[in-house]
Structure 1
Amino acid sequence: MKRSASTDRFQPLTSENSHKGFEVTADLYCYTIQIVNVVFYGKPGSEDWVLIDTGMPKTGAKIIEVAAERFGKGVPPKAIILTHGHFDHIGGLIDVLEEWRNVPVYAHELEMPFITGRQNYPEPDTGVEGGMVAKMSFMFPVEAIDIGERAHMLPADHTVPFMPGWEWIHTPGHSEGHVSLFRASDQALIAGDAFVTVKQDSLYKVFTQELEMNGPPRYLTPDWESAEQSVKALAILQPKLAITGHGVPVTETAWLEDELSRLANNFQELAVPDHGKFVDD
């Protein structure tokens, strides 16, 4: 397995004090590591659990520690599901795979080049309209990692491996192969970065984690037309709770429905930056 060289050099924006866990449902645990959410699917003590995304670089050890506390030491997940392959969602992947050697990793077909060493992501847009995080995004790694034969494509029938009752939904825009996960029985949504509940380009709001409905992070979203269609598709589902890649999980259904609908109906005004290389393109 090969990791990105610049991923090793990346220095986190926040400290250990940023770690926080949220028991969203009996089988959904959201853990914030630095500025990104990692999701543990499975009831405490279960041996049938799944990890969704693997956070920032150098967070693998913390993910393993939290998993041991929740499911027992030495109990690996049945699978790892990636919403997409940006550095802040696969940062701990190689480290956890060194601990959990036989665990398969699933991603959309269009994300496979980024986790098998064949293609790098576009450089972040440091000049996009937004706050300090956008200006700092030149530090963010875009190089592909290579997990080799561990990488598997999500099933074509949209089922999610080892997550019965869940379906994956292609929600491109933030990345070509971005997916969100949805469970119809309780209308639970794992949105990845299709939309987020914090203003991710503002350093102040990243630190304070102020609840606010936003489109995908501006500095790493190359396709705004697809991003808008993805948000509209998720709003149609009327989720009752949502875990996003950044920001606090939302279990207040009325707020979620109102704010997601508002974002979908006013995406150009609320989400799309006035200027930036991806907007101009």
Structure 2
Amino acid sequence: MMDQVAAGVYQLRIKRFVNVYFVETGTPGEWVLFDTGLPGSDKEIIAAADKLFFPGTRPEAIILTHGHLDHMGSAKELAAHWNVPVIAHPLELPYVTAKALYPPSDPTVGGSLAFMSRFFPKQLPDLTDVVEALPLGEEHPPYLAQWRWLHVPGHAPGQLAFFREADRTLLGGDAFATTNHESIPAVLLGIPEISVAGSPFNYDWAQCRQSVQTLADLNPAAIGCGHGPVIKGPAAAAGLRKLADNYQLPAQGRYLAEPARTDASGVEHLPPKPVDKLPKQAAAIGAGLLLAGATWLLVGGRRKKPKHPKPAKSYASTRHAKPGHRPGA
């Protein structure tokens, strides 16, 4: 599904869950791709680009808002297909070059996404051969002189957002979401609602809240995020301001009292790992089912064998009996 965020900015929703963006540079025929979706999304993205621009088109570069798997999953394939670089904040490089792992997800924070996070892969594709560091000394991202980038950490160490001042268009990455991440129907149906994004992956809640406040101060007129539909008009700024002013922290979680700390090489410090009750509960349920199965087999094996009826007398034993004579009489 393709939607227009603003002039020269288009959102492609992949599998109703994750978004990528085609952003024109201002020069006819030139554009940049923001994020690459889940692994296996490359053909869908290429087909959308060919339809949006012209067959055989390619971007000037691929820019990642951050390196989580649902944002960089197809970067390696797309970079090879188009022969273009992938650009990310320097603090993301350890993770997208397989030198480090992100802070572990926190399934104890609660919610449907937290439950599923237990099963998400931790290792990412290695982009060493194609990735380049965003030039931090430049206010504008490469090829996009009308835009400026903002560092908005908390969800990922080098997470980026992008803002075009001319029409107040904001691409927020996963600093927040434009749908309720904790509602599976809302995500699948694309119901618009500015909300906290990616709770089980937020390793520093103070930074997450500050990042939302920074972006709310931009007073955006159009918003596109990593997850959720496009939101335009007064609802964009009002919804983001409401989230910033009433940012709800989770009631529990590993990173609530103490954040993870990261540096240029990866994770420097992690708070203690909380007790995750689900594996024990799952083990208990499994043991119970196993015990029930063993009991059923044991009891079933000891059941009394059904009594067989006595065999009927054969025809041979009766066919010679005299009329009126009962056999055995």
Q: Please, what TM-score do these two structures have when normalized by structure 1?
A: 0.87
Matching residue within 178, 187, 211 for 1:230:
211
Which residue of structure 1 lines up, in the alignment, with residue 225 of structure 2? 244
Matched, 1:273 2:255: no
Alignment coverage as a number of residue pairs: 256
Task: Output the amino acid matched with 2:171.
Answer: I
Q: Structure 2: how far apart are the matches of 1:96 and 1:201?
A: 30
SS where residue 167 of structure 1 aligns?
Answer: strand
Task: Output the amino acid matched with 2:116.
Answer: M
The alpha carbon displacement at 1:278 in A equals 1.9
Matching residue within 81, 87, 91 for 1:99:
81
Q: Structure 2: how far apart are the matches of 1:134 and 1:89?
A: 18
Q: How does 1:1-281 map to 2 (within 5 A)?
A: 20-34=1-15, 35-42=17-24, 46-101=28-83, 103-130=84-111, 132-156=112-136, 157-252=138-233, 254-267=234-247, 269=248, 272-281=249-258
SS where residue 21 of structure 2 aligns?
Answer: strand
Q: Structure 1: how far apart are the matches of 2:221 and 2:127?
A: 35
**Structure 1 unaligned runs (5+)?**
1-19
Task: Output the amino acid matched with 2:51.
Answer: E
Q: Structure 2: how far apart are the matches of 1:229 and 1:160?
A: 22
The alpha carbon displacement at 1:45 in A equals 11
Which residue of structure 1 lines up, in the alignment, with residue 290 of structure 2? none
Q: Structure 2: how far apart are the matches of 1:152 and 1:72?
A: 27
The alpha carbon displacement at 1:139 in A equals 2.1
SS where residue 63 of structure 1 aligns?
Answer: helix
**Structure 2 unaligned runs (5+)?**
259-329
Q: Is the Cα–Cα contact under 8 Å of residues 28 and 42 in structure 1 kept in the other structure?
A: yes
The alpha carbon displacement at 1:242 in A equals 0.7
Q: Structure 2: how far apart are the matches of 1:122 and 1:104?
A: 26
The alpha carbon displacement at 1:255 in A equals 1.1
Task: Output the amino acid matched with 2:252.
Answer: H
SS where residue 38 of structure 1 aligns?
Answer: strand
SS where residue 94 of structure 1 aligns?
Answer: helix
Q: Is the Cα–Cα contact under 8 Å of residues 121 and 144 in structure 1 kept in the other structure?
A: no
Q: Structure 1: how far apart are the matches of 2:110 and 2:127?
A: 34
Q: Structure 2: how far apart are the matches of 1:219 and 1:202?
A: 14
Q: Structure 2: how far apart are the matches of 1:38 and 1:44?
A: 19
Q: Could you report, residue by residue, the CA deviation over 1:87-121 in whole angstroms, capped at 9, with x for unpaired residues?
A: 000111122123112x0111111001111121111
Larger Rg: 2
Q: Please, what TM-score do these two structures have when normalized by structure 2?
A: 0.74
1:44–1:106 distance in 2 versus 1, CA, 3 Å: closer
Q: Is the Cα–Cα contact under 8 Å of residues 38 and 70 in structure 2 kept in the other structure?
A: yes
Percent identical: 36
